[in-house]
Amino acid sequence: MRGSNFFYFISQGVKYFRSNKYISFAAVGVLAACLFIMGNFWLIYLNVDLNLQRMEEENLTMLFLDDEVPSDRFAEIRSRIEQIENVAACEFISKEQAFEDYKATYAEEYDLYEDLEAQGINPLPNSFSVTMKDITIYEETIYQLSRIEGVARIRKQNQDTIDGMLSVAKSIYFICYWIMGLLFVASLFIIMNTIKIARFTNRRQINIMKFVGATDWFIRWPFIFEGAIIGLLAAVISHLFVWYTYTNVMVKLGETIRIFEILPFAEVSSQMLLVASVCGLLIGVLGSSISIRRYFDV
Amino acid sequence: MQATEAGVSTVMLIFENVSKTYENGTRALDDVSLRIEDGEFVFIVGPSGAGKSTLIKLLMKEEEPTSGKIYVGGQDLSQLRHRDIPYLRRKMGVVFQDFRLINELNVYDNVAFAMNATNCSRRSIQRRVPYVLKLMNLSEKAKAFPSELSGGEQQRVALSRALVNNPMMIVADEPTGNVDPRMSWEIMGLLNEINKRKTTVVVVTHEKNLVNALKKRVIYIEKGRVLSDRLEGQYSARQ
Ligand SMILES: Nc1ncnc2c1ncn2[C@@H]1O[C@H](COP(=O)(O)OP(=O)(O)OP(=O)(O)O)[C@@H](O)[C@H]1O
Ligand SMILES: [Mg+2]
């Protein structure tokens, strides 16, 4: 493409867009609706992912040691924990530390432990807190941890919630991928056929361009730009709608149901616009160029 | 009439035993051999369905011959790749009975359009288009739209568009078919002018009087065969 042609192609693309005004707007509308739905599923995906990550971070597994284990074996046990591949981090919490933490947590219920403290008894064991890299193989890792000599007891955390959340997240991911994929194909198909109607009025012009000796690419470029205009317009419109519904529905919902953390829109706004623009451009350009393909036989 | 001879480059157009049978079995051209020299003015005449338009479609490579060879300006069309076809078409200016103008563009832009489509610079377009419009007596109509023009004027716009890229050859398929008789004379006169500037002109026509008056070479085709080919010919099949 020559530089001077670039602007010619763009202005020609704008002309095609405007000469088929109603069809162009119909295409923008359909595409914007598809991108809107896709965008919402993408946001659901992002939020589920965020909450899952948060849970993973908070999910500390506690390993309590046998009181018999002498303190010179702590380092060895630590290294055996760290050898397990799925362990992300592990932290030693001594008996004394644990008691201090306990006192700090239950400062107002002093009577619960004042007797113990007076007698110099510390009922809490030495322990390790472990975080895992991948909680989908949680149970296997727990099994491996339980085989370490000296580990008396393991306290799993939130296991039911994690399992539940994980399977819900998996099906949400699955649904999101499929809906976005299907919508992509469906909108491409709709756009292709919508633009095809407009192409009918451009047929004469394409024919004339051909017999005056225009190359295929010279004919094609303006249509590609026309598709790009449709795609970008649709992306911007869908973005505004996504913004509106997200801040008015999802974020409000998040404020009511406190257990979920909802991403603020500002954090994902540019990413959303980018994804919508890329999808819009792809669908618009593909749809537009496929719709003129059959005019290039001659 | 061998295309491999040294004289090829001075021959504008060669048809060598060309036959064309359409998919539906219609034999539109039957073993046609022709030779049109550089700078000639040729009428192609014959009854409806004789194969005249088919002949033009073949030389623009809009259709492929079933057998035989076609050379344009020494170039074997069967050797031409798809992406070279636009460059073949730039060597020819084509005019049709139905004008084929773009209704949304004014006269000037309809002509400039053909230069745009062939990657001409803006400066050369601004220089060339007014010149050609003047040549075709259209300077006053530059801003008019096709719907505001008579048939003859529209055809002159089409002729301007065909000329604007300086083709080696003008090919006109019934250029006066939708034009009133007085205007037909003017169109033929302009084609004659173009030919005097050394451009080869091939005109398919049914205009008996014009053909007889202009005393040019006349190729008479009937049922896909060349029945006669005479210099200073008349509109008839007689040899
Ligand atoms: N695309 C096509 N498919 C099948 N048959 C065709 C096609 N185009 C033309 N024909 C047939 O080929 C024959 C020659 O057609 P052509 O258009 O070349 O005639 P013509 O000499 O230009 O006639 P006219 O003077 O009416 O324009 C006719 O019988 C026509 O029906
Ligand atoms: Mg014809």
A76-102: pLDDT as tens digits: 889 888 888 888 888 898 888 888 888
What's residue A23's pLDDT? 87
Residue bearing the CA closest to ligand 1, atom 8: B54
B106 CB within 8 Å of a chain A CB? no
Top pLDDT among A208 and A59 is at A208
Fold classified for A60-156: Alpha-Beta Plaits (3.30.70)
Residue B186 three-state SS: helix
Give the ipTM of the model, two decimals please. Answer: 0.84
Distance from CA of B84 to the nearest CA of A (A): 9
B171 CA distance to ligand 1 middle (Å) = 17
Q: Which residue of B has its CA nearest to A2?
A: B119
Confidence bin at A251 (pLDDT 50/70/90): confident
Residue B102 near chain A (CB below 8 Å): yes
d(CA A288, CA A188): 9
CA–CA separation, B75 vs B9, rounded Å?
9
CA distance A241 to A245: 6
CA A283 to chain centre: 21
pLDDT in tens, A97-141: 888 888 887 777 777 778 888 888 888 899 998 888 887 787 888
Task: State residue B35's pLDDT score.
Answer: 95
Looking at residue A39, what is its pLDDT?
92
Q: Model confidence at B8, in pLDDT bands (50, 70, 90)?
A: very low
Average pLDDT of A269-279? 93
A223, HSE (Cβ side, Cα atoms, 13 Å): 24
As a whole number, the mean pLDDT across chain B is 90
Contacts of A95 (CB under 8 A, 6+ apart): A122, A124, A125, A126
Task: Kindly report, residue by residue over A1-36, the tens digit of the pLDDT.
Answer: 556 678 888 988 898 888 888 888 999 999 999 999
Domain with CATH 3.30.70.3040 in chain A: 60-156
Percent of chain B whose predicted confidence (pLDDT) is above 90 = 77
Ligand 1: residue whose CA is nearest its atom 25:
B48
Find the mean pLDDT for residues B25-38.
95
Query: Could B118 and A214 be called an inter-chain contact, meaning their C-beta atoms sit closer than 8 Å?
Result: yes
DSSP strand pairing (B217-222 vs B41-45): parallel
At residue B237, does pLDDT exceed 80?
Answer: no
pLDDT digits 0-9 by tens, B158-187: 999 999 999 999 999 999 988 888 889 999
Output the pLDDT for position A57. 67
Question: Are B18 and B67 in contact, with CB atoms under 8 Å apart?
Answer: yes
Question: For residue A150, which phi and psi values (nearest 5 degrees)?
Answer: 105, -15
